[in-house]
Amino acid sequence: MEPPVEVGFGSNTSHSLSVSPPAMSIEKLFPALLECFGIVLCGYVAGRADIITSTQAKGLGNFVSKFALPALLYKNMVLLDFGNVMWSFLWSILIAKVSVFVIVCALTLVVTGPENRFGKAGLFSIFATQSNDFALGYPIVEALYKNTHPEYLQYIYLVAPISLMILNPIGFAFCEVQNWRTSQEQHQHKLRIVAVVILQVLKNPIVFMVIVGLASHFLLGQKIPTIMQEFVDGLANSFGGAALFYLGLSMVGQLGKFTRSTVVALILLITAKLLVMPLICRDMVELLDTDNDSSHNHSSLSNYAFLYGVFPSAPSVAIYAAQYNMELEVVTSGMVISTFLSAPIMYVSAWLLTIPWMDPKPLVSALQNVSFNISIISLVALVWTIAVMLLSKKFKRFPHVFTMNLFLAQFLVCIGMILWNFIVKQDNFIGQVLTFTLLYGSLYSTYIWAALIALALFLMKKDNELKVPVWIFPIVGWGVPALIVGVLLIAGERMPDTIDSAFFYGRSQIISTAVVQFCGILLGGGSLMGLSRGPQDPNYHVLEQDCSSGATDDAAADHCPENQAPQEAGPTEGSITRDQCDAVQCEPATCLLAQEEVRLQQQCDPQAARHVLLCLLLVVSLLANLSSCLWWLFNRVPGRLYLELQFFCAIANYGQGFISFGIFGLDKHLIILPFKKRLSCLWPGRGRAEDVQAPVTEEVRLTCLQFVRYHKDQCAQDIVQKRRCGERTMVATFLGSDLVEWLLRAGVARDRGEGLRYGSQLQQGGVLQAVTPEVGFLDGARHYRFTEDCRLERQGATRDACIETWD
């Protein structure tokens, strides 16, 4: 095996290796980031404090997108010097963007249901490929390359039209197809799509001014007429600060739309934008930039392509989503998250690229220390998570029995890394081999168990039963990793003088790791895609529900057919005294309905949403690990950016316990509810007082007033029944699923998701209350009751004034 030359992981680490001087200057990067995000923060504060209203912000957005940015593009298109352009770079970015666009579009079409797949495919593909090139990208590129490679600045203006003029129209076409499919007159509008898309593109002032600017470039000889120069400069110079300020304004209230229904889409989109896009951009430059005589310039250009790929999504994507009224929550939340995630990635990447020399020994030692420290903290989190699973007795059910195997593998990985940190420093060959076997046998098991859990969810989606013998899963989950490690120990060649466990057996180990990761991605990703398609049990639709925190898993339990709560009106006449229960909410210790709900929750909750989220995050981490292995295998000099990916992979591998703890460690019935009860005992009356006094939004208030005014009486007559609450008491309740069904029949809601949101708003406004404390509104077998003293009715004059508006 030829050892890496620049970053010597797994190679001879006894020499400091000099590298070429950096191609960028980082001194101005932090001030540039501070300037950009400082202005963004000012815009956010102005919007949050209502110094600038949403209407005024819209006006600023129109100025930026229809005047300032077109003028800036026109100016730079006229002055562009095509003689200094590396056309291989532009072709590389074009291929990279098209590749990501096609990948995101294809996956969305395959995974998403038929009712809205085309709209999602169009918007998600635009989100993953249209970068915030001018407001955020240009100042950062200017800070990094103005003194060393000033020609890189003009590439920003050349690559932007790739999205604006080529890819975005394709996305718009998908959105128009979606509108056509949902319209009532499909046979009259087939040719309209092409015309609408072409008109949409031509009406875009950005596209129009790019075309005019290119024409003026050749007609005017790369010079703006003197009579127009000051005017164009004035508009162009106003873009920077105004665009960043508007970006901050556009972020106000967007994370409030972040719900569990957007989690999966956000994870995949941000992965595509901040991980897949920069890697493909860099790889394309590495492949296509063959005419560059200087290896230093070649490396600089590929690193620049990586940084360009990290630029976050542009705010204009949110405008497109609002225009088509599609996936606004996903796009706006993703824009905010990708913007703030991109800042540390860009800074760390730029910092690594400016290191003038690298001594492999301290780098490998730093990586080892990070892995060791992460493993200790992750071990504590896993001990807690496993204890929760044992105490709640969920490990006896499917798919939790497989999840316990994953937790055990993660636990052994942490133990293995902690032991490796001490054993590797000793001259103990047998101890090193045994510790390596424990470490990588367990690590490979985590890769495979993540895919097996996804496969189990897919096999259980119809009737909640596995279609294959259970014993096959532990054989594959533990046996295959043991076999691979055994073959590696027998046939592999141990690398001398290395403390990095990832390179203990050199190239053969990297290939083995890449194969296991690829199989895990293929099996896990394919199972998750199959899980989202076709008819399936309602348990696995929980990620599509837009509900309050903690509700999705409860909803899954409520849909369990064999454990549905009794629908009868109550006991026969004379069996009990029909006293009316006056309790606002019931305690599980005394209420028969609450006890039944708790029993259903404990017996039937597969926590499908949590398992899907766990598998998805682990598959994404597998993708990063596979990228790291392939980067090392196909690059003789991996480069400085490889360091960044290595540190990320170390955190992903040895920090899996954090993911498991965050998803399964805070059990609602074992941890959260008892903690809330204990807190309420220490601070009596505070919780309910806050609930009563907490203000509701205007949307919730109007929804509640409309329901009380026009629908409540008829709804109560149709769905409310008296059920036994105690041994001698009755309570008038209804099921959450009954209310959703009634809303659909009455035309108040168009689908069950909208009915769920409507019911949640009624609960927030105090129109209805749950029988069991701490339960949000669920579309399932949960009991609720209408209140006589609505919180809105206690607002007195406000309520009267609002009711007048409905008249």
- HEC assignment per residue over 685-707: CHHHHHHHHCCCCHHHHHHHHHH
Look at the domain 368-532+605-674 and name its fold.
Rhopdopsin 7-helix transmembrane proteins (1.20.1070)
Mean pLDDT across 171-178: 82
Percent above pLDDT 70 for the chain: 74
State the CB neighbour count (10 A cutoff) for residue 321: 25
Residue in 18, 2, 587 with CA at minimum distance from that of residue 296 = 18
* The pLDDT value given to residue 409: 95
Query: Among all chains, which residue has been given the structure tokens 């041994």?
Result: 727
* Rounded Cα–Cα distance for residues 762 and 768 (Å): 6
pLDDT category, 240, cuts 50, 70, 90? confident
Closest to 783 in 3D by CA, of 583, 614, 510: 583
Res 646 pLDDT > 90: no
| pLDDT of 356 above 80 | no
Please report, for the chain, the start and end positions of each structural domain, with discontinuous segments joined by +.
26-290+298-343, 368-532+605-674, 698-786
Is the Cβ–Cβ distance between 777 and 762 less than 8 Å? yes
- Rounded-to-integer distance, Cα 211 and Cα 229, Å: 18
Angle made by CA atoms 735, 741, 744, in degrees to the nearest 5: 145
% the chain with pLDDT above 90: 13
Provide CB contacts within 8 A for 302, sequence distance 6+: 282, 285, 286, 289
Report the predicted TM-score, pTM, of the whole model to 2 decimal places: 0.67
pLDDT at 637 over 50: yes
Phi (first) and psi of residue 588, to 5 degrees? -60, -25
| Predicted local distance difference test score (pLDDT) of residue 482 | 94
Question: Does residue 2 register a pLDDT over 80?
Answer: no
Q: Which residues lie below 8 Å from residue 177, measured CB to CB, with a gap of 6+?
A: 118, 122, 193
Q: What is the largest CA-CA distance in the chain?
A: 99
Give the C-alpha distances (Å, rounded to integers) separating 675 from 555, 590, 607.
Answer: 22, 20, 21
More reliable by pLDDT, 433 or 262: 433
- pLDDT tens digits along 480-509: 999 999 999 888 788 777 777 888 888 899
Place of tokens 């009991």: 783
d(Cα 537, Cα 162) in Å, to the nearest integer?
43
Distance CA 649, CA 643 (A): 10
Residue 739 corresponds to which tokens in the numbers above? 């209310």
Nearest alpha-carbon partner for 510 in 629, 396, 408: 629
Question: Which architecture does CATH list for 26-290+298-343?
Answer: Up-down Bundle (1.20)
pLDDT grade, residue 187 (50/70/90)? low
> Tell me, what's the pLDDT at 726?
60
Please name every residue paired with 358 in a beta bridge, in sequence order, or none if there are none: 17
Q: How far apart are CA 527 and CA 525, in angstroms?
A: 5
Q: Is residue 554 over pLDDT 50?
A: no
What is the rounded CA–CA span in Å between residue 551 and residue 770? 13
Quick count: other Cβ atoms within 10 Å of Cβ 463? 11
Cβ-proximal residues to 697 (8 Å cutoff; 6+ apart), any chain: none
388-422 pLDDT per residue, tens: 888 877 777 778 889 999 999 999 999 999 999 88
The residue among 36, 428, 401 whose CA lies nearest residue 239 is: 36
Are 108 and 122 in contact by the 8 Å Cβ rule? The answer is no
Question: Looking at the predicted structure, is the pLDDT value of residue 210 above 60?
Answer: yes
CATH code of the domain made up of 698-786: 1.10.10.10
Q: Reply yes or no on whether the pLDDT at 206 is more than 80.
A: no
User: How far does Cα 150 stand from its chain's mean position?
Assistant: 35
Q: Which residue has the tokens 């954090």?
A: 658
